[in-house]
Structure 1
Amino acid sequence: MSKSLSLIKYLLYAGIFAVPFLAFIVSSSMFFPFITGKNFSFRIIVEVMTALWLVLLLFDARYKPKKSWVLAMLAIFVGVVALSSIFGENFYRSFWSNYERMEGLVTYLHLLAYFLVLAGTMKTERVWNRLFNTTLFASAIIAFYGVFQLFGILQTHQGSRLDATLGNASYLAVYMVFHIFLAMALFYRAQDYRKWIYFFIIILESFVLYHTATRGAILGIIGSLFISWLLIAILSSSKKSKLAHISLLAGMIVIIGSFLFLKNADFVKKSQVLNRFAGISLTEGTTESRLTIWKMSWRGFKEKPVFGWGQENFNLVFNKYYEPILYKQEPWFDRAHNVFFDRLTTNGIFGLLSYLGLLGAALYYLWANRKKTGLSVEDSAMFGSMFLAYFFNNLFVFDNLISLILFATFLAYVGFRSKANEFLAVKPPIGGLTAKNDYGKAVYAVIIGAVFIFVIYSVNIPGILASKTILNAFKAAGTGNIPGAFAEFQKAISYNSFGSMEAREHLSSFAMQVYGNPNLDKEFKDKVANYAIDELKKQNEQYPNDIREMIFLAAVYNKTQKYEEAISLLNKAIEIAPKKQQLYFELGTSYLNKGDNENGMATLKKSFDLDQTNGEARRIYAVSAIFAGQDALAEELMKEHGGTIQDDERFLKAYAQKNNFEKVVAILKVFIDKNPTNAQYRLNLAAVYLQAGYRTKSIEQIEKAIEANPGFKKQGEFYISEIKAGRNP
Structure 2
Amino acid sequence: MQQSHHSSERIIAWAAKAGLFALLVLPLYVSTSLLFPFITGKNFAFRIIVEFVAVLWATLMLLDPLYRPRLTRLVKLSTIFIFIVFLADLFGPNPYRSFFSNYERMEGFMMIFHAWLYFLMLTSLMKTSKDWMIFFHTTLAASILVAGGALLQKFGVRISQQGGFRVDSTIGNPAYLAAYLMFHVWLGLILLGRLWRMFWLRILYGAAIVFEIIIVYFTATRGAVIALMLGAVFVLAASVLDWRRVFPQALRRPRWASALLALVLIVPIVFWQMRNTSLIKISPVLPRFASISLRETTTQSRFSIWRMSLSGALERPILGWGQENYYLVFQKYFDPKLYAQEPWFDRSHNLILDWAVHTGFLGLAGYLSLIGASVWGIIAAMRRGRMNRWEGLLLVSLFLTYVLQDLFVFDNLNTYLLFFGFLAYVDFLTAPRPQKPAGQSRGVNRAGAYALGSALFLGVAGVGYVIHIKPMLEAKALIRALVAVQGRAPLDQIQGAFETALQYHTFGDTEVREQLGNTSRQVPDDARSTDAEKLRFMDFALRELGKEVDRQSPDIKHMIFLAAMMDRAARLNPAYLGSAESLMRRAIKLSPTKQILYFQLAQIYLEENKPNDAIETLRSALYLEPSYQQAAVDLAIVGGVAKRLDALTEAGTYLRLDALDEDVLARVATAYQQVNDIAGAEKVFRRLIQKNPGNARYHATLAALLNVLGKKEEARLQADEAARIDPGFRAEADEFVRHLSQ
- Structure 1 length normalisation: TM-score? 0.86
- 1:622 is displaced (CA, Å) by 2.5
* Aligned partner of 2:640 among 613, 626, 632: 626
Q: State the one-letter code of the partner of 2:166.
A: R
Are positions 1:571 and 2:571 aligned together? no
- 1:294 is displaced (CA, Å) by 0.5
| Correspondences of 1:534-613 after superposition (within 5 Å) | 534-542=543-551, 544-561=553-570, 562-613=576-627
Distance 1:641 1:469, change over 3 A: farther
Q: State the one-letter code of the partner of 1:225.
A: A
Contact 2:301 2:341 in 1 (8 A): yes
Paired with 2:351 and 2:617, the residues of 1 have a C-alpha distance of: 36
Q: State the one-letter code of the partner of 2:137.
A: N
| Correspondences of 1:634-649 after superposition (within 5 Å) | 634=648, 637=651, 640-641=656-657, 646-647=662-663
Q: State the one-letter code of the partner of 1:487.
A: G
Are positions 1:447 and 2:493 aligned together? no
Paired with 2:631 and 2:535, the residues of 1 have a C-alpha distance of: 32
Paired with 1:197 and 1:564, the residues of 2 have a C-alpha distance of: 69
- 1:244 is displaced (CA, Å) by 4.7
Q: Deviations over 1:585-637 (max 9, x none)?
A: 11111111111111011111211222232232233223322331237855884
Contact 1:366 1:373 in 2 (8 A): no
Match of 1:503 in 2: 512
| Correspondences of 1:152-167 after superposition (within 5 Å) | 152-154=156-158, 157-167=162-172
Distance 1:155 1:38, change over 3 A: closer
Contact 2:381 2:387 in 1 (8 A): no
Are positions 1:469 and 2:474 aligned together? no
Which stretches in structure 1 are left out of the alignment for 5+ residues? 675-729
SS in 2 for 1:89: coil
Match of 1:615 in 2: 629
Q: Deviations over 1:284-308 (max 9, x none)?
A: 0110000000011111111110001
- Moved segments of 4+, more than 4 Å: 241-244, 631-640, 642-646, 648-652
- 1:480 is displaced (CA, Å) by 0.5
Match of 1:194 in 2: 201
Paired with 1:50 and 1:159, the residues of 2 have a C-alpha distance of: 41
Contact 2:97 2:324 in 1 (8 A): yes
* Aligned partner of 2:35 among 9, 31, 35: 31
Q: State the one-letter code of the partner of 2:257.
A: H
Contact 1:536 1:553 in 2 (8 A): yes
- 1:373 is displaced (CA, Å) by 7.8
Q: State the one-letter code of the partner of 1:230.
A: A
Contact 2:232 2:264 in 1 (8 A): no
- 1:16 is displaced (CA, Å) by 1.4
Q: State the one-letter code of the partner of 2:559.
A: M
Q: Deviations over 1:680-710 (max 9, x none)?
A: xxxxxxxxxxxxxxxxxxxxxxxxxxxxxxx
- 1:470 is displaced (CA, Å) by 1.7
Paired with 1:649 and 1:594, the residues of 2 have a C-alpha distance of: 26
Are positions 1:90 and 2:106 aligned together? no
SS in 2 for 1:160: coil
Paired with 2:558 and 2:617, the residues of 1 have a C-alpha distance of: 21
Q: State the one-letter code of the partner of 2:600.
A: E
- 1:372 is displaced (CA, Å) by 5.6
Match of 2:133 in 1: 129
Paired with 1:631 and 1:135, the residues of 2 have a C-alpha distance of: 68
- 1:195 is displaced (CA, Å) by 1.4
Are positions 1:185 and 2:193 aligned together? no
Q: Deviations over 1:469-500 (max 9, x none)?
A: 22222111111013322222112222111110
Paired with 1:483 and 1:8, the residues of 2 have a C-alpha distance of: 52
Q: State the one-letter code of the partner of 1:327.
A: Y
SS in 1 for 2:621: helix
Q: State the one-letter code of the partner of 1:606.
A: S
Contact 2:619 2:635 in 1 (8 A): yes
Contact 2:149 2:159 in 1 (8 A): no
Contact 1:20 1:134 in 2 (8 A): yes
Distance 1:645 1:659, change over 3 A: farther
Are positions 1:514 and 2:523 aligned together? yes
Match of 2:224 in 1: 217
Distance 1:227 1:424, change over 3 A: farther
Match of 1:412 in 2: 424
- 1:257 is displaced (CA, Å) by 2.4
Paired with 1:242 and 1:19, the residues of 2 have a C-alpha distance of: 41
- 1:423 is displaced (CA, Å) by 2.9
**How large is the Cα RMSD of the aligned pairs?**
2.9
* Aligned partner of 2:538 among 526, 529, 548: 529
Number of corresponding residues: 663
Paired with 1:504 and 1:293, the residues of 2 have a C-alpha distance of: 28
Paired with 2:633 and 2:372, the residues of 1 have a C-alpha distance of: 52
SS in 2 for 1:542: coil
| Correspondences of 1:297-316 after superposition (within 5 Å) | 297-316=309-328
Q: Deviations over 1:236-259 (max 9, x none)?
A: 234535755333212211222222
Paired with 2:385 and 2:84, the residues of 1 have a C-alpha distance of: 28
Paired with 1:272 and 1:133, the residues of 2 have a C-alpha distance of: 33
* Aligned partner of 1:323 among 326, 335, 339: 335
Q: Deviations over 1:302-351 (max 9, x none)?
A: 11100011111111101100011111111000000101011111110111
Match of 1:5 in 2: 9
Q: State the one-letter code of the partner of 1:572.
A: R
Paired with 2:552 and 2:520, the residues of 1 have a C-alpha distance of: 21
SS in 1 for 2:164: coil
- 1:10 is displaced (CA, Å) by 2.7
* Aligned partner of 2:233 among 215, 226, 230: 226
Contact 2:27 2:171 in 1 (8 A): yes
Contact 1:68 1:418 in 2 (8 A): no
Contact 1:93 1:313 in 2 (8 A): yes
Contact 2:64 2:438 in 1 (8 A): no
Task: Tell which deviates more after alignment, 418-427 or 40-49.
Answer: 418-427
Match of 1:171 in 2: 176
Contact 2:236 2:261 in 1 (8 A): yes
Distance 1:65 1:371, change over 3 A: farther
* Aligned partner of 2:486 among 478, 488, 493: 478
SS in 2 for 1:398: coil
Identity of aligned residues (%): 35
